[in-house]
Amino acid sequence: AEMEATTLQDTGLSCFYQSRFRESLSLYKSACRIIVEKFGHVHPDLSVPLFNLANLLAAGGDCVRAVPFYRAAYRINAMGLGEGHLWTETAREALEFTEAVVEEGMHETPQSP
């Protein structure tokens, strides 16, 4: 299951770089589902696909939906790796930035005149 989830994550990242966003989203969700079924909701392996899922949503302009995924990745990393770990800090910074974008209303796509 772990290898399958890793393969899904890697393929999801490849799809993201190829601008195949729907496919990437589906692959990240599948990786999350496999990890949750096998290890539970707070396993350290879950933080990577959650973070990638958040990045995908934020890059697509859906910061509101990205925030809970960043928050979950941050919490998992903080519990498992500690507050000072690079991955924890990266997740916290992404969460704070995305929350600020949402609070400022910048997540909305400007309307054409």
CB 87 within 8 A of CB 81: yes
Other Cβ atoms within 10 Å of 100 Cβ, number: 11
Residue-level pLDDT at 110: 52
Regions of the chain where pLDDT drops below 70: 1, 106-113
Domains of the chain in sequence order: 2-104 (1.25.40.10)
**pTM for this model (two decimals):** 0.87
Over residues 58-71, the pLDDT tens digits come to 999 999 999 999 99
17: exposed, middle or buried (Cβ count in 10 Å: 0-12, 13-18, 19+): exposed
